[in-house]
Amino acid sequence: MLRIGVLASGGGTDLQSVLDACEAGQIDGKVVVVVSNVEGAGALKRAADYDAKAVLVGHRGKTRQAHEREVAWELDSARVDLVVLAGYLRMLTPEFVNKYKNKIINSHPALLPKYGGRGMHGMNVHRAVLASGDAESGCSVHYVTEEVDGGPVIARMRVPVKPGDTPETLRARVLAAEHLLLPMVVKWIAEGKVYPGAPSIDLPQM
């Protein structure tokens, strides 16, 4: 059974997609700990409702390294096999990333390598896609490396950009795809079907 740790800063809808897939037996694994840096984050309540350990590790007044040492202690104490970033709005240091090399994945609301990197998060991504005139967008799940959004892509799922789309309507469509893709990738990892160095998987428009 894959022991999963999740880092989340917000409401935790991506987290919920993984929790639901584990609960339904679609993933041979269990979310054993959820860590958030934001007090009152919805992700912590979702974790507690699922009976996973829910931990607040605040970052204010701490160095990045000190904060990450606390996060790593929680992950190591829970003996996690995989770390999932699900809307975690903190830049990770190279030390943290390398400690969990090939064991951290992230969900990103664009078709990487497009619209990735510093500043490309949340609504900024969807505004950039619409400004570009692209006919499609989507989401990606990738391994986390020292380069922001630059790690090897595991899988992408495409969604159309529709006439009249706003950043909000496009975000909703991409988020729905994320809720399908992220648990799918975690399932594949649990089954040993994807791994560092494996070819990335492109899924058609949903």
* Contact between residue 46 and residue 27 where contact means Cβ atoms under 8 Å apart: no
Nearest partner of 13 among 71, 84, 83, 87, judged by Cα: 87
Which sequence spans correspond to the domains of the chain? Answer: 2-203
pLDDT at 32: 98
List of the chain residues with pLDDT < 70? 206
Q: Determine which one of 67, 108, 142, 179 is catalytic.
A: 108
Q: In this predicted structure, what is the pLDDT of residue 118?
A: 87
CA torsion sign for 143, 145, 151, 156 is positive
Say whether 59 is catalytic.
no
83-100 residue pLDDT tens: 999 999 888 999 999 999
**Model pLDDT, residue 170:** 98
pLDDT value at position 184? 97
- Torsion, CA 164, CA 165, CA 166, CA 171, rounded to 10: 170
Distance from C-alpha of 158 to C-alpha of 173, rounded to nearest angstrom = 10
The pLDDT value recorded for residue 204 is 85
Alpha-carbon distance of 116 to 6, in angstroms, equals 21
Q: Give the integer Cα–Cα distance in Å for 199 and 7.
A: 26
* Whole-number pLDDT of residue 205: 74
**pTM for the full model?**
0.94
Provide CATH code, domain 2-203: 3.40.50.170
* Residue from 9, 76, 71 nearest 46 by CA: 9
pLDDT at residue 89 in the model: 87
